[in-house]
Every structure is written in structure tokens, then in C-alpha cells.
């Protein structure tokens, strides 16, 4: 791939060039990965974007919701293009992935101001893929100001999305929990907005009850560092009911967080990813050592200790 052609294409808003850049970022080949970093270095730090993370259990309707929510967000911000990064689970047997989320975003996928990129999670845990963060930075470099990241959707362990985005939306199914479920430590207390989907037809009353239970549980959770009070909404992505209210609430959070909240959040996230990348790199180095050299090191403890010391010295 020609780096200069990719850069020129991204500057002109060419989706194929952006796809090629993300492919480089996702590559396991050091030379291609290095080219991806050089492309990002060319664009430098991009400001003014807003990153939204959406997660929830399988079947909650994440992709269907994004299809209608994305259109609503573009209508409210017509000058801001939208990028959707969708992470699909990979098979633990074959290693393959269906990458079918895009088929449930038929309306969005036909728009020129929307870029959708499905990616397999591979062996990466936490609901993301190995280089979702680099893919997101590529989208911002290409001029996309609204970024939606849809996680795999595996449950309470998907907290890493909160280290990647400015706003974290948790999608729930009707009848999926009670007040005790609502106060579980982990994914629920990290959410900036809780949304009960499928609030239509026979499921509407169940959705309302579920939303009420989660709303009642909110006062038992610790106050957020930013001072934002998470809300609980109901909607129907399939019937496009109250999606406008959801979009308005997302923009309300954006207005609340603009400035110091997003700045401090991204600084903390940068430190998190520095540590994680250092640990991954060091573990890769130690795994390549032969057994004779391994005996000289405590490989289980050294990466974390070195990463921690380096993070104290590097200004982010």
C-alpha cells in the first residue's frame, strides 16, 4: 500500500483509503503497523470529536439501534460525519467471525456521510478488538466527528469500552434485571446512560418495569466523578420509538462533558492505553526469549513494574 496515496485519500474523505489505513492498523505485521502509526503521526492530534460506546448483551438490539440512532445524530449535527466501528465475536473453534452487524445497519451503510467498519474481536478480551483505538483515531483523522463503537456484547466484563469513549451507553432488554441486578459493580455503574430497548407491543410494559427498577437502583450507586447523573430511558429501535429522545440525551451529555470532563477523561484513558500497550509489547518480547534466557527474568512481574514506572515519567 502507498502511504501517501492513503493519506491523500483520507484528506479527501475517501472511504476506501480510510479502510486501507485501518487494515494497516489491524495488521500483525510490524512494517504495516508502523505505516499506520506514520499515517496517524501525519495528521497529528485531532480535536472536536465525540466518542460514544454502546454495549449490551447479545440480542439486546445494538446494531438495530445504531441504524436509527445514527441517522438521528446526523440530522441533529448535519455537518458532522459519523463513523461506526462494530466489533463482532470470533469463534473460539475456527477463529472466524460472521461480521454481520453491518447488514442490520442497511440505512446507514448507504449514506455518503457514514463510514461503517465491522471487525472481528479475535482472541482479544473486553468486548473490543486488538486495535479498536487506532481504528477510531484513523476515523477522526479522516474527518469523522461522531464516532460510535459497538462492542461484542458478552456481559458484565465489557468495561474496557469506558476507557475508549467519551460516553458509555448500556443497552438492556426488557425483563433483564431487577434492582439487585441494577446495583452490580462493574458495567452498570460505569454507564452514562442506560437504555431499555424493545419497548413496543407486548414487551412495552415489561420494558417500563425494567427501566423503573434500574432507575430506582441508581441512588444506591456511587456518585460519578464528573457529577453527571445517569438516566434510564426506554425506546424501540425496531419501531423507531423515542429514538429522538435518546439522541437528545446523548447531546445533553455532550454539552455537559465538553471541556474539562472530556479532557480529563481522555488524559486518564491515554495513561490506561499506554500501560496496556507497554504490557502487551513487553509480554511479546519475553515470549520470544528462549527458555535459557527466560530463567534470568521474572517475566510475570517485570512488564507491569516497568510499565508503571514509565507511566510516571512520561507526560501524556
| Cα dihedral across residues 120, 123, 127, 133: positive or negative | negative
Burial class (CB in 10 A: 0-12, 13-18, 19+), 161: buried
Cβ-based neighbour number of residue 103 at 10 Å: 11
Q: Which of 146, 132, 154 is nearest to 60 (CA)?
A: 154
Q: Stretch 100-112: mean pLDDT, rounded?
A: 80
**213 has a pLDDT exceeding 80:** yes
Entry pTM: 0.83
Grid cell 470529536 — which residue? 49
pLDDT score of 123: 45
**307 has a pLDDT exceeding 60:** no
Q: Stretch 46-59: mean pLDDT, rounded?
A: 90
Which residue has better confidence, 20 or 123? Answer: 20
Task: Report how far residue 83's alpha carbon sits from residue 94's, in angstroms, rounded to the nearest whole number.
Answer: 29
Which residue has better confidence, 246 or 27? Answer: 246
pLDDT score of 119: 83
**What tens digit of pLDDT does each residue of 152-184 get?**
765 555 578 888 999 999 999 998 654 445 445
Burial pattern 293-309, b for ≥16 Cβ within 10 A else e, equals eeeeeebeeebeeebee
Amino acid at each position: 500500500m502507498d502511504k501517501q496515496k492513503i493519506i491523500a485519500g483520507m484528506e479527501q474523505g475517501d472511504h476506501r483509503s480510510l479502510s486501507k489505513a485501518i487494515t494497516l492498523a489491524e495488521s500483525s505485521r510490524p512494517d504495516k503497523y508502523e505505516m499506520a502509526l506514520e499515517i496517524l503521526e501525519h495528521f497529528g492530534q485531532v480535536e472536536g470529536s465525540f466518542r460514544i460506546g454502546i454495549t449490551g448483551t447479545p440480542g439486546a438490539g445494538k446494531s438495530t439501534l445504531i441504524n436509527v440512532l445514527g441517522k438521528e445524530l446526523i440530522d441533529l449535527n448535519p455537518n458532522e460525519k459519523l463513523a461506526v466501528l462494530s466489533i463482532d465475536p470470533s469463534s473460539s473453534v475456527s477463529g472466524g467471525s460472521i461480521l454481520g452487524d453491518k447488514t442490520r445497519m442497511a440505512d446507514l451503510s448507504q449514506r455518503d456521510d457514514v463510514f461503517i467498519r465491522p471487525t472481528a474481536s479475535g482472541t482479544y478480551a473486553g468486548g473490543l478488538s486488538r486495535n479498536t483505538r487506532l481504528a477510531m483515531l484513523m476515523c477522526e483523522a479522516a474527518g469523522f466527528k461522531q464516532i460510535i463503537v459497538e462492542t461484542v456484547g458478552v456481559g458484565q466484563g465489557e468495561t474496557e469500552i469506558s476507557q475508549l469513549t467519551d460516553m458509555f451507553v448500556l443497552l438492556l432488554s426488557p425483563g433483564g434485571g431487577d434492582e439487585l441486578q441494577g446495583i452490580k459493580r462493574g458495567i452498570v455503574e460505569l454507564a452514562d446512560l442506560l437504555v431499555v430497548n424493545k419497548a413496543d407491543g407486548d414487551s412495552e410494559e415489561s420494558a417500563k418495569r425494567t427501566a423503573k427498577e434500574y432507575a430506582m437502583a441508581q441512588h444506591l450507586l456511587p456518585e460519578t466523578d464528573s457529577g453527571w447523573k445517569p438516566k434510564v430511558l426506554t425506546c424501540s429501535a425496531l419501531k423507531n420509538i423515542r429514538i429522538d429522545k435518546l439522541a437528545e440525551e446523548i447531546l445533553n451529555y455532550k454539552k455537559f462533558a465538553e471541556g474539562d470532563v472530556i479532557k480529563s477523561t481522555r488524559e486518564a484513558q491515554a495513561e490506561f492505553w499506554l500501560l496496556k500497550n507497554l504490557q502487551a509489547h513487553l509480554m511479546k518480547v519475553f515470549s520470544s526469549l528462549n527458555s535459557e534466557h527466560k530463567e534470568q527474568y521474572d517475566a510475570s512481574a517485570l512488564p507491569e513494574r516497568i510499565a508503571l514506572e514509565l507511566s510516571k515519567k512520561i507526560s501524556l
